[in-house]
Amino acid sequence: MSNWKQKIAIGADHAGFDYKELLIKHLHHFEVKDFGTYSTDSVDYPDFSHPVATAVENGEFDLGILICGSANGVAMAANKHQGIRAAICWTEELASLARSHNDANVLCIPARFITPELAIQITDKFLSTSFEGGRHAKRVNKISC
């Protein structure tokens, strides 16, 4: 049995702050780095999306989690990075498919549209699902420009 701990980068804007704090506590069995924000004061989501995306893209972290009100802003910013495949997920099934079919490496959670309990379930599904490869790998390899 390996002692390897999956490394997770997490960040949020003010709308996602409470969910970020909840998920950090829930993910105590992972190695988690909090890239902010650190309060509910209004901030700009790219200021947190880009550091999380960079940390995943350069291999410092295995996966990332970004949270904002709709998840659109954080996903758009993260997906500007060539090595990032950020997926907005509001159901467990979407989280599973994002990982298994699209090899998503950043989960984007829409805090204003799901419950805290569902955010935990989606996160657990995302982190426990592996990429299937095979026919999906060919497609995923065509994503980067």
DSSP 8-state secondary structure symbol assigned to residue 39: S
- Candidate list 14, 26, 29, 68, residue with the active-site label: 68
29 catalytic? Reply is no
**Lookup: tokens for 90:** 């509001």
145 catalytic? Reply is no
End-to-end CA distance of the chain: 39
Q: Is 16 helix (H, G, I), strand (E, B) or coil?
A: helix
By the 10 Å C-beta count (0-12 exposed, 13-18 middle, 19+ buried), 55 is classed as buried
Residues known to be catalytic = 68, 101
